[in-house]
A and B are shown apart, each in its own frame.
Chain A
Amino acid sequence: MIKISGLTKRFHNPDLITAVDQISFECKPGEIFGLLGPNGAGKTTALRIISTLMQPDEGEAIVGGHDVRTAPEDVRRSIGFLSANTGLYGRLTAAEMIRYFAEIQEVEHPKQRTDELIEQFGIGDFAHVRCDRLSTGMKQKVSIARAIVHDPSVLIFDEPTLGLDVLVSETLLQFIESCRDAGRCVLFSTHIMREAERLCDRIGIIHRGRILAIGSLEELRSQTSEHYLEQIFIHLIRGEE
């Protein structure tokens, strides 16, 4: 599970900017927690801290029982990270790509695991095609397989459907739902309201680095007296401004 409390991150660029300001939330196994906010709200920074790519200035982030500050290597072992940038090596084939990540994640039987994932995601037809020759949808499948090759208990998705067409997005959203069904803890950031409405068990609305409200869709409706998530979002942001 993920437990975040009082997480703060500031940048000098060149003036001091507080990108993430005292945010706190929890995400339990078998739950999809959505970080919903406009561009520049601090979603990616928060996810980068949680995935150990950045250090927090204040606060605590516990992932899978490990502190991102003191045990970043253990945190990396327990997470799978997927962003809009598929992060594939263009000159490796899809199978080589999955196998490479299986090996550096020290999966016990990397070849067997690679074959399983190729089968599971229907990659077989293009398993031996170089990644730079794959379509966006194919790349996203390989990218998902890469992210879960070590069977992580926590999955972090940073705006994963950005730039994808409807069909590829749908496949991805179905996969995220299946992760919840498999009992994984899923942290999902997006600025697309309908995705958050459809997927998330609980939503944290983030704006200018601060979380304005947290709860299930029903709880947010009762807090704001608005029905649709888009209206809830606008209500909260206007209240803040």
Chain B
Amino acid sequence: MKIVLTVLKKELWESLRDPMVVILSLGFPILFFPLIMWGTTQAILLTKGVNDNEPPRIHIVGVQAPGPGGIVDALQADPAVPTVGTDQDLRQGDLDLIAEVEMQGASMRITLHHNSTLPRSQRAVQWAEDQLDEVREARERELAIKSGLDPESLNVWKIESTDMALKRNRELDILASIMPVAMLIMLLMSTVIPSVDIFVGERERGTLETSMVTTRSRWPLILGKVLAASTIGLIGVTGNLFAGSLSVVQTMMSIFGNELSPPEVSIRSVLLSIPPLFSCAVLLCAATFAAVLPSRTFKQAQATSSFVFIAGIVATMSVDVEEEMPQLWTAALPLRNLAHSISGAFRGTLTLDYAVLSTTINLALASILILLVQRIMQHEGYLFGPENSGWKDAAMSLLPQRWSQR
């Protein structure tokens, strides 16, 4: 254990003195959240501002005498705004809406043509529907009075919905939706680069041979390296967690103003999420080590690890297993269990059972991968391949019948 700590300390010192590791694993991810959130806030505020200040531009076609004058008045928000345009204008964003009105017997059919790619056009649809509803209700009342009916008798029922969720839970729910994916990306960024440098970088620089001929057993060497990369990953993730949470809260406050209050996080849930987070970092480092074993250079290793992890994330996150299987079972899926743990930490729903199970599974898988790496590293083909016996021979050495050879 003493040697593991020595290797861990040395790897940490070496990595933290590498500007590339510091910038890409720690600096960039911590700046990433505030920048993204600032950009999002500005975009939302800009869109909001534009829509609030400018009336919708609507072209009404097909109105015939005696004509529904009420409709024209209702949709003409500002007489000064041009209300003539074509489909082409709508596609180009020069017009927000075309309301096509046609008579169908005694009633009218109104079709609202809009452009779903433009926020302003989408808001115009909503605005037009609200306006037309008011006209319709006025007409219905008028007809009811003419027919000698009580206008209130037309309202058979009214529907109103009220959100009973606590305000703090609604805010945490937003964080719980955003943070898992963001944390996964950040964890990958923080762990993969140091893992590649600690492992392949050392072989490329020719120092791994020296280490392997020096350490009596190779276990402490590998374990120390895995723990060092995991520690760097966790430092990065911790920084991200704070930077990310503060950025999201700040963004929400900027957009919604005083409607929201700063969320109150359940300390117990947050503490419970630490073991799954740590075990996932260890698993990611072990997986990176295994993935980059055949790589001879740092660049090769970066390409390999990026491909493997993008494929892994897409495969894990794209399957919607939450609906298909009992929640506890998702603890068996690495990455997914981390996402679940983080979202559970924000929602206050993470249970001890789930945290223990996901941590155990992550560490068990990491152990298997570390065993694989250790077996391959012991083989000369790893260190000296492909010029000599090659990496494939090293992988072949994992077969049970050959285990006795070493």
A interface residues (Cβ-Cβ under 8 A, vs B): 11-13, 48, 51-55, 73-74, 76-77, 79, 81, 83, 85, 87-92, 96, 100-101, 103-106, 130, 146
Contact = CB atoms under 8 A, between A and B. Distances in A.
A76 B378 CA distance: 14
B308 to A, nearest CB: 27
B6 A53 contact: no
A101 B13 contact: no
B380 A91 contact: no
Contact of A13 (B3, B6, B387): B387
Interface centre among A51, A88, A103 (most CB of B within 10 A): A103
Nearest to B380: A54
Nearest to B386: A13
B212 interface: yes
Interface stretch (B107-115, B118-126, B201-209, B333-341): B201-209
B388 A13 contact: yes
17 contacts: A11-B389, A13-B390, A48-B384, A53-B384, A79-B213, A81-B210, A81-B214, A88-B207, A91-B17, A100-B6, A103-B2, A103-B3, A103-B6, A104-B6, A104-B7, A106-B3, A106-B216
Interface of B: 2-3, 6-7, 10, 13-14, 17-18, 205-207, 209-217, 220-221, 380, 383-384, 387-390, 393, 405-406
Given A73-B216, A91-B14, A100-B6, A53 B206 contact: no
B205 A77 contact: no
Given A73-B217, A103-B3, A92 B10 contact: yes
Nearest to B406: A55
Given A91-B17, A103-B3, A106-B3, A51 B213 contact: yes
Contacts, number: 79
Interface centre among B13, B18, B211, B388 (most CB of A within 10 A): B388
B153 to A, nearest CB: 84
Contact of B216 (A76, A90, A100): A76
A155 B7 CA distance: 24
Contacts of A104: 3, 6-7, 211, 214-215, 220-221
A189 to B, nearest CB: 15
Contact of A77 (B2, B207, B216, B405): B216
A149 to B, nearest CB: 9
Nearest to A54: B380
A88 to B, nearest CB: 7
Interface centre among A52, A89, A90, A101 (most CB of B within 10 A): A89
Contacts of B215: 76, 104
B125 to A, nearest CB: 60
A136 to B, nearest CB: 15
A89 B15 CA distance: 11
A12 B206 contact: no
A11 B390 CA distance: 9
Contacts of A53: 209, 212-213, 380, 383-384
A88 B14 CA distance: 12
A11 B388 contact: yes
Nearest to B208: A87
Given A87-B206, A89-B10, A91-B18, A101 B214 contact: yes
A175 B209 CA distance: 23
Nearest to A19: B388
A212 B390 CA distance: 29
Nearest to B221: A104
A76 B389 CA distance: 22
Nearest to B206: A85
A60 to B, nearest CB: 15
Which 3 A-B pairs give the minimum distances between C-beta atoms?
A: A87-B210, A54-B380, A91-B17
A105 B14 contact: no
B86 to A, nearest CB: 66
A104 B209 CA distance: 15
